[in-house]
């Protein structure tokens, strides 16, 4: 690995949300990912490949569905977690590698979610909602043919599921709050989530009271949405409710994007009043001062 490591504005830069070749939507070679994390001088680097709980089994297990293009996440999970566990042993002294997972839709298959959250190899669990019940992943929905009321109704269901996941709470940080906005905005439709502030407030209260955290996901910068997920207004809402745990992640799907714009996410945490970032080792929070 090269000696010239990138100079950073913040002392402690971490990336707690990244994907590799073991995610269905990435072909990023895992060794190239490690090299990129090392070159960017990350103080913590979590590999959090996708595991959609509701599509854990092979295709044959879901004969009547048209709601997913990808199946067998049980296999993806096992491949990712066993590879990362080995790499931790090999490179753990050079790089603070964390074995994580991005667990999608835990409440659509609670028995699978239970299996994941009790896996002792995991350092860190992000809980995400990529699709609501009886709908496709927000990535695949065609918003251009929908009216404003229909989009609002989808968003209402999304934030209701987020609230349920927060109440359930068997994870470390809530992933990219506002995920559907990525794709609605990309369709050229402007969307304002202020009308869901009450349920977001209640969701954050659950997290803060139970010692759980949120992540600030910088992918929105890379994808041209103009802000992280969630935006600073909501990071501040979480802080004001007594939230203490905030992590940052790029949601990189390529080696090059690792660490991408996380400094903007860190700035957002700092601006909202957080003095520490947090990553998880062995499912326990580790705090790192922001500067
Ligand atoms: Zn995600
Ligand atoms: Zn992700």
pLDDT in tens, 80-130: 999 999 999 999 999 999 999 999 999 999 999 999 999 999 999 999 999
Residue 158: predicted pLDDT = 98
Report how far ligand 1's centroid is from the alpha carbon of 102 (Å): 7
Query: Are 129 and 158 within 8 A, CB to CB?
Result: yes
Average pLDDT, the chain: 95
Distance between CA 232 and CA 216 in Å, rounded? 9
Q: Please, are residues 201 and 241 in contact by the beta-carbon 8 Å criterion?
A: yes
Distance between Cα 219 and ligand 2 center (Å): 9
What is the fold of 14-289? TIM Barrel (3.20.20)
pLDDT at 8: 54
pLDDT of 77 > 80? The answer is: yes
Model pLDDT, residue 11: 78
Tens digits of residue pLDDT in 245-267: 999 999 999 999 999 999 999 99
| Average pLDDT of the segment spanning 25-44 | 97
Tell how far the Cα of 54 is from the centroid of ligand 2, in angstroms.
16
Above 60 in pLDDT, residue 7?
no
Q: Counting Cβ atoms within 10 Å, is residue 53 exposed (0-12), middle (13-18) or buried (19+)?
A: buried
Residue 126 DSSP code: E
Which residues pair with residue 272 across a beta bridge? none
Kindly give the distance from the C-alpha atom of residue 248 to the centroid of ligand 1, in angstroms, as a whole number: 13
Distance CA 221, CA 232 (A): 13
Ligand nearest to the CA of 20: 2
Q: How far is CA 161 from CA 3, 37, 63, 104, 164, in A?
A: 46, 33, 25, 12, 5
Calpha distance 200→229 (Å, rounded): 13
- Is the per-residue pLDDT at 1 higher than 60? no
HSE-CB at 233 with a 13 A cutoff on CA atoms is 9
Confidence category of residue 10, pLDDT binned at 50, 70, 90: confident
Q: Give 171-196 pLDDT, tens digit per residue.
A: 999 999 999 999 999 999 999 999 99
3-state secondary structure of 7: coil
pLDDT over 70 for what percent of the chain?
Answer: 97
Q: How far is the CA of 176 from the centre of ligand 1 (A)?
A: 7
- The domain locations on the chain are 14-289
Between the CA of 188 and the centroid of ligand 2 the distance, in Å, is: 22
- Looking at residues 137-165, what average pLDDT do you find? 97
Cis-peptide, bond into residue 281, ω within 30° of zero? no
Q: CA 218 to CA 5: how far, in whole Å? A: 21
pTM of the predicted structure, to 2 decimals: 0.96
């Amino acid at each position: 690995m090269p000696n010239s490591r990138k100079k950073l504005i913040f002392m402690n830069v971490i990336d707690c949300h990244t994907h590799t070749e073991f995610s269905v939507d990435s072909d990023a070679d895992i060794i190239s990912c490690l090299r990129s994390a090392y070159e960017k001088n990350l103080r913590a680097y979590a590999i959090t490949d996708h595991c959609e709980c509701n599509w854990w089994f092979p295709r044959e297990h879901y004969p009547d569905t048209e709601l997913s293009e990808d199946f067998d996440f049980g296999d993806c999970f096992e491949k990712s977690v066993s590879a990362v566990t080995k790499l931790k042993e090999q490179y753990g002294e050079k790089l603070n590698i964390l074995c994580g997972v991005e667990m999608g839709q835990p409440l659509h298959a609670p028995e699978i979610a239970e299996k994941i959250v009790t896996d002792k190899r995991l350092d860190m669990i992000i809980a995400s909602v990529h699709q609501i019940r009886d709908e496709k992943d927000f990535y695949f929905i065609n918003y251009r043919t929908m009216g404003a009321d229909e989009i609002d109704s989808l968003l209402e269901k999304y934030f209701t599921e987020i609230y349920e996941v927060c109440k359930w709470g068997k994870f470390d940080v809530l992933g990219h709050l506002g995920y559907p906005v990525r794709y609605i905005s990309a369709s050229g439709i402007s969307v304002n989530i202020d009308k869901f502030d009450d349920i977001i407030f209640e969701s954050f209260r659950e997290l803060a009271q139970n010692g759980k955290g949120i992540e600030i996901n910088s992918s929105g910068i890379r994808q041209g949405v103009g802000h992280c997920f969630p935006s600073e207004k909501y990071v501040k809402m979480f802080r004001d409710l007594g939230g203490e745990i905030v992590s940052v992640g790029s949601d990189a799907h390529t080696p090059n994007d690792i660490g991408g714009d996380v400094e903007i996410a860190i700035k957002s945490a700092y601006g909202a009043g957080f003095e520490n970032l947090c990553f998880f080792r062995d499912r326990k929070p580790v705090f790192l001062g922001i500067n």
